[in-house]
Amino acid sequence: MTLIDTTAATRRRRRRASSSVMAVLRFIVTAATTFLGLLAVTFFIGRVVPIDPALAIVGDRAPAHVVERVREQLGLNLPLYEQFWIYLKQAVTGDFGTSVLTTNPVMADIARVFPATIELATIGTIIGALIGVPLGVLAAVKRGSIADQIVRVIGLIGYSVPIFWLGLLALVLFYARLNWVAYPGRIDIVYEYTFTPITGFYLLDAVWQGQWDVAWDLFRHIILPGALLGYFSLAYISRMTRSFMLNELAQEYVVAARAKGLSETRIIWFHALRNAAVPLVTVIALSYAGLLEGSVLTETIFSWPGLGLYITNSLQNADMNAVLGGTIAIGVVFVSINLFSDLLYRTLDPRTRNR
Amino acid sequence: MSVVETPKPYSREWLLSDRPASRRQAKLGRAYVVWSRFAENRLALLGLVIILALLVVAALADVLAPHNPVQGDLMNSRLLPPGSAGYLLGTDDQGRDILSRLIHGSRLTLFVVVLVAVIAAPIGLIVGTVSGYAGGWVDAVLMRITDIFLAFPKLVLALALVAALGPGIENAILAIAVTSWPPYARIARAETLTFRHSEFIAAVRLMGASPFRIVLRHIMPLCLSSLIVRVTLDMAGIILTAAGLGFLGLGAQPPLPEWGAMIASGRRFILDQWWVAAMPGFAILIVSLGFNLLGDGLRDALDPKEAGQ
């Protein structure tokens, strides 16, 4: 008897272990193929789509032997799969070539500008979540009311407005007319040479060093682009929050809590929102990833020296190495956040574990 | 939702009948139910009106536009404010009437959204239905590719693609289409899975239909309604991406009156002549709002389960 029991138990345990091993394996395969796909697509864009990448570098007036030499240097005379293999090896070591515009390695450029983008996207997500979640809860609780309609319209406009246009108008109003915020850029020219950032996240650095005047100046620079990005994530976050909350408020445990005599505030904010929080974390992570992308156009408007401005500047100067390097950088972070939020969802919500 | 003339009375009762006598009556009845659900939603009707207006304006652009959209009067009408005589929305730095440019620009906007939809939706439909119907390793491979594309940041990928292809409206369309098919494939696959094992498919198969015919004639039509909803909802995003590419100088090239490019050219005058950049932005906002409202309304009308979500 006991023998059979133990074997059954071991088998069960083994099966459970193997299923979690399978899950980890599946995750690794997903992550690996996605990153490989990202590199394959950028390889395709950089090497296959342009008619002749060598000509793109030396210009079409260059003598034939120069073109030929550049082709060899780029490895364009090799078969495509070998080119891809070399490309992969270089990409894994962080080698994306040299930027024609800045003459630095693309990777060094990206490391320099990325903190600015992260800082902006973080501020945007914080603003979006702090306003978006309460708005969504309000809309769900007062479903069909005027408040619900207003939240809906705010969200719809957020989905429909061109971000660069709204940024321009906001600059005219808040900088040129009202002078509430600082001019485009990240830091005032006065502080540019006196302030020495440590991490590249200027706001944190300034606060850490106790330079409050610098911090205030930084704040005056970041608040408008941050609020703009915040509005976009707010549109998405409030809509999803409303949907999750409607779902939770229709559940029976809400009726039970009401029957127990709990206050409506407590039911909404502690019971229902807590259950809606798990998918909400995913939504906020996804909107963070979306803001990294949204920053491309916003940074152009606000002369924000981040990755988006780097990509668009390189675009204007036909600097393909820099464009592709920037695309890969945003892509890798974007994909990582996607994968991470998926993982987070599975660990946070016990209901998804046994599926 | 035009009602075809029939000899039968097509009153409300006839339309809502539980036992339709003919296929046409059943179809009309279903259309009537969808339409009345749609018409209850005032915002959705507003969206429909906006999109119909866009179609009319684009079709009659030559008649409606008061001035030449490409050639302006540099001598007399440079940077006139809105409300100037003959120039309702003002003029730009080359003396061109902004209203006329917006009217002609509606054609470009429609051109972009229609072409992207025509390229991306069928790709998604084919990938999704084949993947869902075939199952097995075909499904696994196709869905992995779809997921890889789905995981990409769309705008950045489109930017890089246009940078490689060279600027221009056709290349912008191609780039947007390449980045927007994956959601359609996911939807089509999900729909296909729901009726893949249903009896009518089995019946058709027993009658000797080839897999090709089953997918093309029996599965694809059933995926269409949810696909249309999704495409309509995506239209606003397509317009915004196209405008963003135009703003960066990667979309339609001057002197074409593309709305995003118009904002870019008005950027230099934003502090003193705000209307040059502001007006095209309003046009983009209104049209994409129209598509969003229409898409929301369509989803609620076609799929009441999702309503209000």
Peptide bond into B255 cis (omega under 30): yes
Number of CB pairs, chain A paired with chain B, less than 8 A apart:
137
Residue range A169-189: average pLDDT?
81
Q: What is the pLDDT of residues A290-337, one digit of tens each?
A: 888 888 889 988 888 889 899 888 888 777 888 888 888 888 888 888
pLDDT-derived band of residue A1, with 50, 70 and 90 as boundaries?
very low
Map out the domains of chain B as residue ranges.
23-302
Q: What is the pLDDT of residue A4?
A: 52
Map out the domains of chain A as residue ranges.
1-47, 113-352
Give the highest mean pLDDT range of B6-15, B80-89, B150-159.
Answer: B150-159
B159/A323 Cβ within 8 A: yes
Residue B224 and residue B188: Cα distance in Å, rounded?
A: 8
Q: What angle do CA A330, A334, A336 make, to 5 degrees?
A: 120
Task: Select B23-302's CATH number: 3.10.110.10, 3.40.50.620, 2.30.30.30, 1.10.3720.10.
Answer: 1.10.3720.10
Q: Which residues of chain B have a CB within 8 Å of the CB of A327?
A: 156-157, 159-160
Q: What angle do CA B251, B230, B248 make, to 5 degrees?
A: 15
Residue A304 and residue B134: Cα distance in Å, rounded?
A: 49
Q: What is the pLDDT of residues A121-156, one digit of tens each?
A: 999 999 999 999 999 999 998 888 888 889 988 999
Say how many residues make up chain A: 355
pLDDT at A281 over 70: yes
pLDDT at A276 over 90: no
Q: What is the pLDDT of residue B307?
A: 45
pLDDT over 90 percentage in chain B: 25
Residue range A264-280: average pLDDT?
85
Q: What is the pLDDT of residues B143-194, one digit of tens each?
A: 888 988 887 788 888 888 888 888 888 999 999 999 899 999 998 998 888 8
B308/A164 Cβ within 8 A: no
Q: What is the pLDDT of residue A171?
A: 87
Predicted interface score ipTM higher than 0.85: no
pLDDT-derived band of residue B305, with 50, 70 and 90 as boundaries?
low
Residue range A1-26: average pLDDT?
67
CA distance B178 to chain A (A): 11
Pick from A160, A162, A172: which is nearest to B274 by CB? A172
3-state secondary structure at position B174: helix
Pick from A292, A297, A327: which is nearest to B157 by CB? A327
Q: Which residues of chain B have a CB within 8 Å of the CB of A157?
A: 285, 289
Summary mean pLDDT of chain A: 82
- By C-alpha distance, the chain A residue nearest B240 is A162
B240/A296 Cβ within 8 A: no
If one compares A124 and B65, the residue with the highest pLDDT of the two is A124
pLDDT-derived band of residue A104, with 50, 70 and 90 as boundaries?
confident
Residue range B97-126: average pLDDT?
91
Is-contact A54 A67, C-beta < 8 A? yes
pLDDT at B115 over 90: yes
Q: Match 């007062």 to its residue by tokens.
A: A142
A46/B164 Cβ within 8 A: yes
pLDDT-derived band of residue B219, with 50, 70 and 90 as boundaries?
confident
pLDDT over 70 percentage in chain A: 90
pLDDT-derived band of residue A174, with 50, 70 and 90 as boundaries?
confident
Residue range A207-223: average pLDDT?
80
Residue range B98-108: average pLDDT?
89
Q: What is the pLDDT of residues A242-268, one digit of tens each?
A: 988 988 888 888 888 888 888 888 888
pLDDT at A187 over 70: yes
pLDDT at B221 over 70: yes
Residue B113 and residue A238: Cα distance in Å, rounded?
A: 27
Q: What is the pLDDT of residue A355?
A: 44
Residue A277 and residue A274: Cα distance in Å, rounded?
A: 5
Pick from A33, A162, A300: which is nearest to B243 by CB? A162
Q: What is the pLDDT of residue A100?
A: 74
A159/B236 Cβ within 8 A: yes
Q: What is the pLDDT of residues A30-71, one digit of tens each?
A: 888 888 888 888 888 877 766 666 666 666 677 778 777 777
The domain defined by A113-352 carries CATH number 1.10.3720.10: yes
B288/A160 Cβ within 8 A: yes
Q: Is A26 an 8 Å CB contact of chain B? A: no
Q: Is A56 an 8 Å CB contact of chain B? A: no
Q: What is the pLDDT of residue B90?
A: 80
CA distance A273 to chain B (A): 16
pLDDT-derived band of residue B302, with 50, 70 and 90 as boundaries?
confident
Handedness of CA B174, B176, B178, B181 (dihedral sign): negative
pLDDT-derived band of residue B10, with 50, 70 and 90 as boundaries?
low
Interface mutation vs chain A, best among B148, B268, B269, most A CBs within 10 Å:
B148
